[in-house]
Each structure stands twice: as structure tokens, then as C-alpha cells.
Amino acid sequence: MYAVGVLWMDEMGGFLRDLRLLYPIVSLEPSHPMSLIPPEIPEIFNQFAVPERLQGALSYGSGHINKSYKILTRGDRTPNYLLQKINHRVFENPRQLQENIHAITSHLAQKLKNSPAKINHQTVLSVIPTRSGDNLVYRDKDSYNLSSPEFWRLYKFIEGSRYFDIPQNRKQVHQAGIVFGNFQRDVEDFPIDRLHDTIPKFHNLSHKFAQFQASLEVNFQNRRKNCLPEIQFVQKHLNAMLSINRAAEEGRIPYRVTHNDTKFNNVLFDQHDNAICIVDMDTVMPGLTLFDYGDAIRSLTNTAPEDTTNIEDVNLDLTRLEAFSQGFLSKTSSLLNSTERDLLPQAGATLSYMLGLRFFTDYLNGDKYFAISKPQQNLDRARVQFKMMVNFKKSEGFIREIQQPYFE
């Protein structure tokens, strides 16, 4: 049970705030248990092309970037919705972002129509248009005394679904591998040039390192002095971690349509732990299949919270790695060329290093990108990822043994 910020409509049509409501957590998990719900939500929701009336709203999800709210509607059988405020600082062109999402979800929905997966209740995010036919509600910075523009979008809420930050069993992990692998196969024929690059150089490690060096120069609040060992770690391992990026730059591995944020909590499961949907399509754009695989195993094999201060608790769960690999490679092994197969065992280490570098850089810059709830949280997150990189490197031989049968 958690106390959550909820906005409810009273009988007179006004709106009441109640921070004392206890909401049982079954298929949802509030992101900020005591956060207030913005009063503009009813006005925003009413601009979307839905017939339902808003009954209530509550903070939802555990993402670091966008703000999400579950919209509850009147009636026992009326659908609920997921309303999201896009982080305009991270996604500088929300309209292009939504064009990508609409194009990809439409493509996936068409594929699903003729797929056996539909029988297993698999689904695709459903983008709700506005009453004017747009994909976003836009609030201009000159309206309502806003200091910056706001962009809001709406999806149908997938009822009966659950997500987890940490895997609960091996079946979930294997199912996550299958659903991410199916995504790769289903978008194989999507024209890559139709996609906007929503975050340029998102997985370009050389670029991330340059940003890191710039943060050292700025030295916000003299934070550099607190983390000299981490600075040395980054510099020591950079060259080895550039292998996959170099192969792409040299044309030895191809760019494909990729998800680019294959964290475990971006998979929704039914009550029987079957994967039914991939969410968070914000970073769908041209990318590398190896990075989708690497980011997934990075997120689901860590045995500790991502911001733990007990670094000795950060270990690599090879059982989870094997289960995900079995699911993912059963769908994608035929897509990969010989160079990708050779570099695949390095993917987990590379993505752990890269994310650690991003957390570290954000800490050095004053925590402007990733949301934090306590001081030095981004530094703690960076240390966890660097430990995961070390764990992956130590286990590289075993990882290769797990992957090899799918290429014989």
C-alpha cells in the first residue's frame, strides 16, 4: 500500500486533492507517492478525442524522464488512459518524436493483425489523437504564464498489465527476450529513413565521452573532487568500450530500427507472466541491435537496486542473462552478421559503461537530465553501472558460450 497524489472530480465538477488516499498496488506502481497532480490535467485530457469523462488521475510509473499519470474515467467498463508530459529538455522536438511513435506503433499493429501473437493477448501501444487530429496537446509558453512550452500525449491504458523494475522469475526474463526479439523482426522491413533521430548521437560513446570531458571542465560546485576514482575508471576503459561503435562507423555492422531503451521495466506482462507489450517508444530510431541486447541484459541481470550505495551487492545474474538470451536470440540470430556475432558478448559491458558515463556526466553537470530523489543519486547510479561493466567483462567467456549455440 502506498499513499499517492490523486485528483478526483467531486459532484459539483470541481477538483479535490487528497494526499491521504491509500491505493492498493496491483497492476501499477506510483512513481512519486506524495507528489501533487497538476491541476491542468482535466483541461489537457479533454483536448483528446475520447468520449469518456475524467474521474480521477494518479501519478504512475518509475521513469526518469517523462511524467506519467493514469487517467481514470467514469463507469465500470470505460477504458482508462495513460497521459504523459514529454520532457522537452530531453526531447527537443516532441512532434518528430510522436511522428516516430505513431509510425512504428501503426506498423506493429498491422503486423499483429496477422500474427499468432494476437492469440496470446499481445498488443501494441495505441496513440490517441487530439480533437484537432494532432498527436500532441501543446501548451504555448505565452499561455497560462508558462516558463516553457508543454507537450502532452495520450495512450490507451493496457488493463491487467504489470511491469517490474526487477524480474520476479525466469519466465518473465525469457518472455522479455522474446518480445524484444519479436520487435526487431517486426520492424526489419520498416524504412529506416522514415524515422527522425529524436536524440542525436544517443548511443555514440565518443560523443558521450566528449560531454563527460566538458563536464569536468565546468566542474559544477566542485563535484569533481568527490569522484577521482570514477574519473580514472572512465579514462582507463574508454578504448575497449569503443569497439561496437567503431564497427558501426566503419560499416561492418548495420544500423537498423531499434528500441534503444530495452530496460526490463519497459515490458508489460499479464497475470501469468507472459509479455504482452513493449512500452516507452520515445527512443525508437536508427540504432544497433547489439545495443538493444546489451541494454536489456544490463538492466535485468543486476542483482541490486540501480542506485545502491552497497556496491558489493552489485552482481551479475547469469541465469537471467541466459534466459533473456535464449528468448532474444531465438528471434534475432538470423539477422546478425558475423561481426555482430563476434561483438555480441561485449554488448552488456559496453552499455553498462555508457549508461554509467551518462549518469556520471549528469552528476558532474548538476543533475539536469536524470531525475533524482536524493543527493549524489546519479553518482551512485554511475558506480553501480561501472561495477556491472566489470562483472560483464569477467564473465565474457561464459556469455559467449551462452550465445554460441544460436549461431551454429
C-alpha distances in angstroms, 41 versus 67, 88, 132, 174? 12, 17, 18, 38
Closest C-alpha to 62, from 139, 138, 162: 162
Q: Band of the pLDDT at 386, cuts 50, 70, 90?
A: very high
Q: Are 285 and 258 contacting, i.e. CB atoms less than 8 angstroms apart?
A: yes
pLDDT digits (tens, 9 = 90+) for 235-260: 999 999 999 999 999 999 999 999 99
Closest C-alpha to 303, from 173, 402, 148: 173
Q: At CB < 8 A and 24+ separation, what contacts does 207-216 make?
A: 208/354, 208/357, 208/358, 208/361, 209/234, 209/238, 209/357, 211/361, 212/357, 212/360, 212/361, 212/364, 215/361, 215/364, 215/365, 216/364
pTM of the shown model: 0.85
Residues 246 and 149 in one domain: no
Residues 341 and 228 in one domain: yes
Q: What is the pLDDT of residue 180?
A: 97
For the chain, how far is it from start to end, CA to CA, in angstroms?
49
Looking at residues 136-145, what average pLDDT do you find?
72
Residues 199 and 304 in one domain: yes
Q: Do the domain assignments include residue 192? A: yes
Q: Which of 134, 156, 178 marks a domain boundary?
A: 156
Residues 119 and 48 in one domain: yes
Closest C-alpha to 301, from 239, 385, 368: 385
For residue 288, the enclosing domain spans 170-407
pLDDT digits (tens, 9 = 90+) for 171-197: 999 999 999 999 999 999 999 999 999
Residue 34 has pLDDT above 50, yes or no: no
Q: What is the pLDDT of residue 24?
A: 28
Q: Are 378 and 370 contacting, i.e. CB atoms less than 8 angstroms apart?
A: yes
Residues 175 and 150 in one domain: no
Looking at residues 129-140, what average pLDDT do you find?
91
Q: Rounded to the nearest 10 degrees, what angle do helices 205-218 and 228-241 cross at?
A: 160
CATH code of 248's domain: 3.90.1200.10
Dihedral angle sign, alpha carbons of residues 102, 103, 107, 108: negative
Residues 392 and 358 in one domain: yes
Q: Do the domain assignments include residue 164? A: no
How far is 9 from 21, CA to CA, in rounded Å?
A: 14
